[in-house]
């Protein structure tokens, strides 16, 4: 008997761990462990998506003659008990890269026959070292090295098994917690496959215009596959194969999307080789920035009432749906760190509490990139202007009007800067700007805030 220990691979297609476990030929126990460590971290929407995914995986397993066994408790206690109960001779799992997961797996492997296989990324971080065997920390060099490695094709994608060995009836399984899954993201492998197909194929796939459409806030120009990649409801390998095969106009959309997948692999590599990034800046010269961390400013940012419409619309999208457009993530991150001079770790934690696709590597990498503190990050002196970003990437204000209905009637010339609308227009549109009114005035002057941030960064570099 073999145990398939499911962690971040809630799928039957292209699952090397599942195939390796089946290769033992003497029975299979698919297991997911509800570890109390996970539930200590508030992330209601992400947990609900996971639970819905587990229920769908159980249905997929049952359709093939098997079923999902769910156990609750500390892994160090649950797995030994399960091995003894089932007389299993091997545990197969997909290798994880976070510091917590690696410590956990090392502990398990000391007492149990644990076999870890790759699958979280297309290429393992250890395969992308420089000639001197040190990690690559510049993305362009990482991408070149990544691209030189063999790329998967259709023949590499492992099919889902048509039938699976039955799980003994007497084996106890706990109920998956009940939770309302996010409305915009149906969980499960079938939905992930549907989204991938819709994005990459058909008469006019969104990937055709991904090179430009991915930055437009008001249109559906991205794949929205990140939650499914986060939980392995689809493999990164299959996503890359689909990108390469997409019938794009000039190939640039597919190339750009593939580059985003490589960014994901880059951040996983950084976390694998530099686990300290989860608690500190990658760049040593920017570890002593003197942050303001004003609690009122942080609350305004979290609640979407900074007075900058594009920031507030994005923050409300996050809290209401558990997802945020990638361009919007950069805008709101820059605003928190540079305009409000708040420690990037505060924003990183808030995102992890609310994002359905919250992933330690990608989230940390994104925040440190915007803050200018990470590996191959944007220069610290790059500060997003929220007005310019809004005008450029939401030109007609569709994104703002959707998430800030109180601004919906404002004429387009004022949708990005409502405080500039004349009083009579504000009254006519039913949206008076200012303290205690329908929509707040800006809580900070961007130009002055930019100078304050640059001074704080320069001081940190000077004293490093």
Is 326 among the residues known to form the active site?
Answer: yes
Residue 194: Cβ within 10 Å count: 12
* Angle ∠(173,26,108) on CA atoms, nearest 5: 60
Which run of H or of E encompasses 227? helix 226-230
CB-based burial label for 45 (10 Å; 0-12, 13-18, 19+): buried
Strands (E) in 294-342, as ranges, are: none
* Residue among 255, 294, 326, 419 flagged as catalytic: 326
Parallel, antiparallel, or unpaired for β 28-34 and 69-72?
Answer: parallel
DSSP string, 339-353: IS---HHHHHHHHHH
DSSP string, 236-290: HHHHHHHHHH---SSSHHHHHHHHHHHHHHHHHHHHHH-GGGGTS-SSGGGTT--
What spatial distance separates the first Cα and last Cα of the chain, rounded to whole Å?
56
Residue 78: Cβ within 10 Å count: 17
* Residue among 344, 346, 350, 403 flagged as catalytic: 344
Is 323 among the residues known to form the active site?
Answer: no
* Residue among 4, 208, 350, 367 flagged as catalytic: 367
Nearest C-alpha neighbor of 6 from the set 62, 55, 63, 70: 70
Q: With contact defined as beta carbons under 8 Å apart, do 218 and 398 qualify?
A: yes
DSSP string, 356-399: TT--HHHHHHHHHHHHT-STTPPPTT----HHHHHHHHSTT-HH
* Residue among 4, 5, 263, 301 flagged as catalytic: 263
Nearest C-alpha neighbor of 68 from the set 84, 50, 80: 50
Q: With contact defined as beta carbons under 8 Å apart, do 6 and 173 qualify?
A: no
Nearest C-alpha neighbor of 393 from the set 249, 222, 264, 208: 222
Is 5 among the residues known to form the active site?
Answer: no
CB-based burial label for 270 (10 Å; 0-12, 13-18, 19+): buried
Sign of the four-CA dihedral 309, 305, 286, 463: positive
Instruction: Give the contacts of 112 (CB within 8 A, at least 6 positions apart).
Output: 79, 80, 83, 91
Give me the residues paired with residue 439 across strands: 433
Phi and psi, residue 49, nearest 5°: -65, -45
Is 344 among the residues known to form the active site?
Answer: yes
Is 263 among the residues known to form the active site?
Answer: yes
Nearest C-alpha neighbor of 269 from the set 346, 356, 376: 376
* Residue among 255, 291, 294, 419 flagged as catalytic: 291
Is 291 among the residues known to form the active site?
Answer: yes
* Residue among 255, 260, 294, 419 flagged as catalytic: 260
- Residues carrying an active site annotation: 260, 263, 291, 326, 344, 367
């Amino acid at each position: 008997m073999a145990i398939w220990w499911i962690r971040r691979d809630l799928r039957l297609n292209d699952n090397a761990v599942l195939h390796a476990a089946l290769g033992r030929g003497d029975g299979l126990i698919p297991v997911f462990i509800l570890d109390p460590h996970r539930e200590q971290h508030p992330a209601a929407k992400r947990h609900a998506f996971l639970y819905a995914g587990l229920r769908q995986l159980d249905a997929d397993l049952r359709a093939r003659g098997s079923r999902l066994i769910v156990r609750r408790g500390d892994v160090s206690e649950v797995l030994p008990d399960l091995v003894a109960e089932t007389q299993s001779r091997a545990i197969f799992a997909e290798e994880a890269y976070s510091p917590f997961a690696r410590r956990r797996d090392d502990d398990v492997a000391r007492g149990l026959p644990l076999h870890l296989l790759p699958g979280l990324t297309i290429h393992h971080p250890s395969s992308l070292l420089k000639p001197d065997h040190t990690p690559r920390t510049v993305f362009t060099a990482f991408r070149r090295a990544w691209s030189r490695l063999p790329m998967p094709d259709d023949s590499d994608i492992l099919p889902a098994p048509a039938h699976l060995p039955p799980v003994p009836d007497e084996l106890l399984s706990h109920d998956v917690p009940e939770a309302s899954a996010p409305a915009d993201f149906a969980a499960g492998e079938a939905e992930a496959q549907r989204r991938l197909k819709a994005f990459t194929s058909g008469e006019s796939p969104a990937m055709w215009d991904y090179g430009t459409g991915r930055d437009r806030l008001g249109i559906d120009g991205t794949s929205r596959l990140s939650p499914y990649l986060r939980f392995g409801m689809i493999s990164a390998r299959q996503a890359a194969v689909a990108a390469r095969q997409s019938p794009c106009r000039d190939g640039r959309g597919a190339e750009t999307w593939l580059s985003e997948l490589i960014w994901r692999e880059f951040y996983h590599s950084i976390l694998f080789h530099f686990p300290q990034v989860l608690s500190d800046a990658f760049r040593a010269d920017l570890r002593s920035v003197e942050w303001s961390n004003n609690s009122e400013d942080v609350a305004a940012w979290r609640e979407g009432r900074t007075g900058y419409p594009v920031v507030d619309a994005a923050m409300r999208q996050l809290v209401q749906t558990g997802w945020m457009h990638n361009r919007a993530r950069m805008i709101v991150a820059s605003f928190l760190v540079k305009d409000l001079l708040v420690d990037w770790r505060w924003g990183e934690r808030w995102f992890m509490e609310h994002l359905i696709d919250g992933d330690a590597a990608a989230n940390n990498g994104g925040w440190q990139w915007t803050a200018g503190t990470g590996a191959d990050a944007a220069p610290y002196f790059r500060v997003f202007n929220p007005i310019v970003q809004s005008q450029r990437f939401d030109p007609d204000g569709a994104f703002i009007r959707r998430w800030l209905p109180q601004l919906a009637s404002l004429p387009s010339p004022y949708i990005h800067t409502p405080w500039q609308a004349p009083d009579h227009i504000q009254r006519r549109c039913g949206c008076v700007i200012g303290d205690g009114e329908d929509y707040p005035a800006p809580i900070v002057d961007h130009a002055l805030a930019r100078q304050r941030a640059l001074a704080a960064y320069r001081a940190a570099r000077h004293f490093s």
